[in-house]
Amino acid sequence: MRPVAIARVVGVLAFAAVVNFGCKTKEPAATGAAAKPANPNLAKSWRFEQGGWIFVHLQGSPTDVGFQHGSLLAPEIADAFETVKLTATHSTKKPWEFFREASHSMLWPKMDAEYQAEIRGIVDGLASKGVRMDVDDVVALNAFEELPDYYVPWYNDQHKIPGPKITSPGNCSAFVATGSYTRDGRIVIAHNNWTSYLTGERWRIVFDLVPQRGHRILMDGFPGVITSDDDFGVNDAGLMVTETTITQFYGWDPNGKPEFERSRKALQYADSIDEYVRIMRDGNNGGYANDWLLGDRKTGEIAQFEQGLKHDRLWRTKDGVFVGSNFASDPQVLAEDTHFDSRDRSSSPNARRDRWEALMKDNKGKIDVEAAKTFMADHWDAFDRKAGPSERSLCGHTDVSPRGVKEWEWEPFYPGGAVQGKAMDSQMAGAMQFVARLGHPCGEDFRAAPFLKAHPEFAWQASKLIDMKAGPWTQFQSDQRAAQ
Ligand SMILES: [Zn+2]
């Protein structure tokens, strides 16, 4: 391992040096042309902040989009990278080099040239701001949902390596509704992102992406990652997309394509539900297995695509609703792709499913974006039949739960839950808009210092766990230039 690692470091340094030299030659001579932008790659991009979110507009070739991403978000990517390294190495007990090697040997060779160019662009954009990360680091960062929790358990089993128990997580509460369920008969879609506060606090980017090929995209996202990853977005073909992960999924195909690429490609190139499903199926590696909730504003049709590795299933309707809270539904997916107990109504996924189904029934015909905001902030515990935030409420607060979530290996009082929320309807999708709220969608703040004092068992997070303050519901739109 050692000589290989050294050789790669040398290679990276040489590459970075070439990049710096290349940039210097493009800059105007010191004697004139001062009005030219310092770097022409950045000419069509911009950044502003609103409601705690960072909006970035990225436009152009894959190389340009990547460079803009790396350059505009360099401090946030450096910070997110350190946080992901801390989390991934803590939970798996594997060194960061393990994830770099998996990215280098397994993921990178399967990627399309377009996304390889975008990743290289991110590396160059970071280098232009003095942040030294190489391609393997950026690929491993992009795979932070799929390598630690999906690849590692499979790898340990394959190699008969005893390791910590790791199960795939449950992330998010979401729904998509249409027809007689919504106020105007058209689609409403909403999602709140459940994750550790450690990473969730940093999930505050709005990407307004105009790629050279394919559709333009408006999506939320994580610094340095080319897909939304939590996921929530819309493209200019009218496809509205979100998901919740499949709890206790198990499986990996080392010959597949990374999930972060497939999900980005599907949002960029699909103009129909069928096309979206086709792209997600192509090279399915089992990573970050999800129940995808989809809507097509052109037809009013919605769908749920449950993608296991051995099995998958697609449900679709022009009059109905699909909800997600990290439970699989298809009997074959449940039996052969997961270890999940669908009968235990006390678990977080099932208690939230029961709450979702009651809310959808009670609000039939009245669902709109305003209603979606209240659902995202809901604190009802459907199992104990009482109000109050916990791991069972749609707006999750596991940090106040003495139960934790055993299905995800979240210990009692684990600092995780709903970290932000988004919603849109068909009309907003047509205008490439959505509303988003940072922090707990109910508006409650999380304070790191008192939490760590009360729960010293999470001291390992202290270097990166920060306050998570809730912002206001804020509307964003593609091509937006500044805070409004
Ligand atoms: Zn809440």
CA of 4 to the centre of ligand 1 (A): 48
CA of 274 to the centre of ligand 1 (A): 35
CA of 441 to the centre of ligand 1 (A): 6
Q: Are 420 and 203 in contact (CB under 8 A)?
A: yes
> What pLDDT score was predicted for residue 31?
39
CA of 480 to the centre of ligand 1 (A): 29
CA of 395 to the centre of ligand 1 (A): 4
> What pLDDT score was predicted for residue 167?
82
Reading across the β-sheet that carries 474-477, which strands appear in turn?
320-324, 173-178, 188-196, 416-425, 433-438, 474-477
CA of 397 to the centre of ligand 1 (A): 6
CA of 137 to the centre of ligand 1 (A): 34
CA of 270 to the centre of ligand 1 (A): 34
> What pLDDT score was predicted for residue 37?
57
CA of 216 to the centre of ligand 1 (A): 32
CA of 430 to the centre of ligand 1 (A): 30
CA of 370 to the centre of ligand 1 (A): 16
> What pLDDT score was predicted for residue 5?
36
> What pLDDT score was predicted for residue 164?
84
pLDDT digits (tens, 9 = 90+) for 352-409: 999 999 999 999 999 999 999 999 999 999 999 999 999 999 999 999 999 999 999 9
Residues in the chain with pLDDT < 70?
1-38
> What pLDDT score was predicted for residue 8?
37
CA of 350 to the centre of ligand 1 (A): 18
CA of 366 to the centre of ligand 1 (A): 22
pLDDT digits (tens, 9 = 90+) for 137-170: 999 999 999 999 999 999 999 999 988 888 887 7
CA of 84 to the centre of ligand 1 (A): 24
CA of 292 to the centre of ligand 1 (A): 23
CA of 398 to the centre of ligand 1 (A): 10
CA of 443 to the centre of ligand 1 (A): 7
CA of 401 to the centre of ligand 1 (A): 13
CA of 442 to the centre of ligand 1 (A): 4
CA of 91 to the centre of ligand 1 (A): 26
CA of 379 to the centre of ligand 1 (A): 6
CA of 388 to the centre of ligand 1 (A): 9
Residues with C-beta atoms within 5 A of ion ligand 1: 389, 395, 440, 442
CA of 241 to the centre of ligand 1 (A): 23
CA of 418 to the centre of ligand 1 (A): 7
CA of 469 to the centre of ligand 1 (A): 12
CA of 353 to the centre of ligand 1 (A): 17
CA of 221 to the centre of ligand 1 (A): 21
**Three-state secondary structure readout of the chain:** CHHHHHHHHHHHHHHHHHHHHHHHHHCCCCCCCCCCCCCHHHCCCEEEEECCEEEEEEEECHHHHHHHHHHHCHHHHHHHHHHHHHHHHHHHCCCHHHHHHHHHHHHHHHCCHHHHHHHHHHHHHHHHCCCCCCHHHHHHHHCCCCHHHHHHHHHHHHCCCCCCCCCCCCCCEEEEEEHHHECCCCCEEEEEEEEEHHHHCCCCEEEEEEECCCCCEEEEECCCCCCCCCCEEEECCCEEEEEEECCCECCCCCCCECHHHHHHHHHHHCCCHHHHHHHHHCCECCCCCEEEEEEECCCCEEEEEEECCCCEEEEEECCEEEEECCCCCCHHHHHHHECCCCCCCCCHHHHHHHHHHHHHHHCCCCECHHHHHHHHCCCEECCCCEECCCCCCCCCEHHHCCCCEHHHCECCCCCEEEEEEEEEEHHHHHCCEEEEEECCCCCCCECHHHHHHHCHHHHHHCCCCCCECCCCCEEEECCCCCCC
- The span from the CA of 314 to the CA of 327, in Å, is 15
CA of 234 to the centre of ligand 1 (A): 25
pTM (2 decimals)?
0.92
CA of 257 to the centre of ligand 1 (A): 36
